[in-house]
Each structure stands twice: as C-alpha cells, then as structure tokens.
Amino acid sequence: MTHRGCGARLERPIQSMRLADKTDDTMTAAEPDIELRHYTGRELSAIRNIAIDIYRGVFGHEIHKPFWSLGRFSQRLQRHAAMAGFGAVVAYANEKAIGFAYGITLPTTTRWWATIQPPPTGPAFTREDGHRTFALFEVIVKPRYQGHGIGRRIHDHLLATRTEQRVTIATHHGNTHARNTYITWGYHHIGTRQPTPPAPLLDVYLRDRTSHTMNPVTA
C-alpha cells in the first residue's frame, strides 16, 4: 500500500499518497515477525536507499513517468527530511526492510488546502500554525508482504509519535480501494484537488485526532 508526498512549500509539486492496487500471494499464511523503527530527518542517510528500493519495488510500473520517477521521489524525500516535523518508520522482517512511511508537519506557508474542491468555508479549517496537521506521504509495503496488515501497523506506529491534532492524506481520484481503507482507518473524505497542472486529480482525506470532529464545510 502507498501514499505520496509534497514539496518544499508543500506544492513543488505535491504528490498523491496512493494506495497500491494489488497484492502478491507468494508469501506464506504465517505472519512475519515485524520490527518497526523510527527515524528523524537527520537520520535520512540511514534509510534513503531503503526507501528508494521499496518505492521501486512497489511502483516499478510507474517510475518511467516523470511525475513518479525515482529521481523526483528522491528529491522530494530529501526536501521533506530537511523540514520541521519530519518523521519516518521502516518495517523490517528478519532485518530486511519491507515497508516504509513518512510525513511532515504542515508549515504555516502550506498551500495544501488552497485548491480543495469544494472549498472549505471559513479560515478556521485551513489555518496552519506549524503544529496542527501532519501530512502523511508514502506508506509503502513490498507486494509480497501486502495483505497482512503491515501497512496499518506502520501507519499507526508513525502516528503514535505525533502530537498534531489531525492527519491528512491523499490518493488518486476514484481509487475506491484507497477510500475504503482510509475510512476504515478513521479518515473521512473532504474533497478533491489538483495541486499543479502536471499532477493527477487527488482525493483528500482527513483524520481528526481530537475528541471532536471538525466539519470542513462549517468550520
């Protein structure tokens, strides 16, 4: 499963956090022994090649496209690691990296919400203070390990360390598998956006981590 990321101002360009559409049944029914490790932006050098390798394994059918190329992913990851609030988790099975996730805190200058359709009413919903929202990007699990809940474990392990009030993710518009997964994980769909003309249309999701739910239509 996967999700994809954004740029230095969260707009150069923003990428959709996508959920992989297929699984590989070559893995045995026994669930692997998984270890989850956290990394900060200063530790990117330890996991950069790991992340690229997993990305290649999951999206090999798309990396020929400029928007999803390995070079662009590597640049995006490097850029995000230098930003405040970067956090990553790598999943290992028998010391072999099999999954990866990362995200950053949306800065006050973000344009993440600028092109949402329908537009949220009122500034309260879109206001960012550098602490409010965690933007989750890649959540990637190698195909042969998919279908065993590992993506959810990586996702939950990463969020367990976060203090932001809410989490946002996005996926290609119309990906019903992603929609069903995100809803199961506690997100709700708030609209669509196309950050830049080369980017695909994205479905945007939000998960409120406070005791009440903020409605983007009335906030």
How confident is the model over 63-67, as a mean pLDDT?
83
Q: Rounded mean pLDDT of 60-86?
A: 91
What band does 211 get if pLDDT is binned at 50, 70 and 90?
low
Query: 194: which 2 tokens?
Result: 């196309």
Average pLDDT over residues 116-142: 93
% of residues, the chain, pLDDT over 90: 65
Q: Burial, 144: exposed, middle or buried (Cβ in 10 Å; 0-12, 13-18, 19+)? A: middle
By the 10 Å C-beta count (0-12 exposed, 13-18 middle, 19+ buried), 90 is classed as: buried
Least confident of 5-14, 93-102, 153-162: 5-14
- Can you point out the beta strands (E) in the chain? 34-39, 87-93, 96-105, 133-141, 166-172, 188-193, 202-208
Structural domains present in the chain: 34-208 (3.40.630.30)
CB 189 within 8 A of CB 204: yes
Mean pLDDT for all residues in the chain: 84
43-53 pLDDT per residue, tens: 999 999 999 99
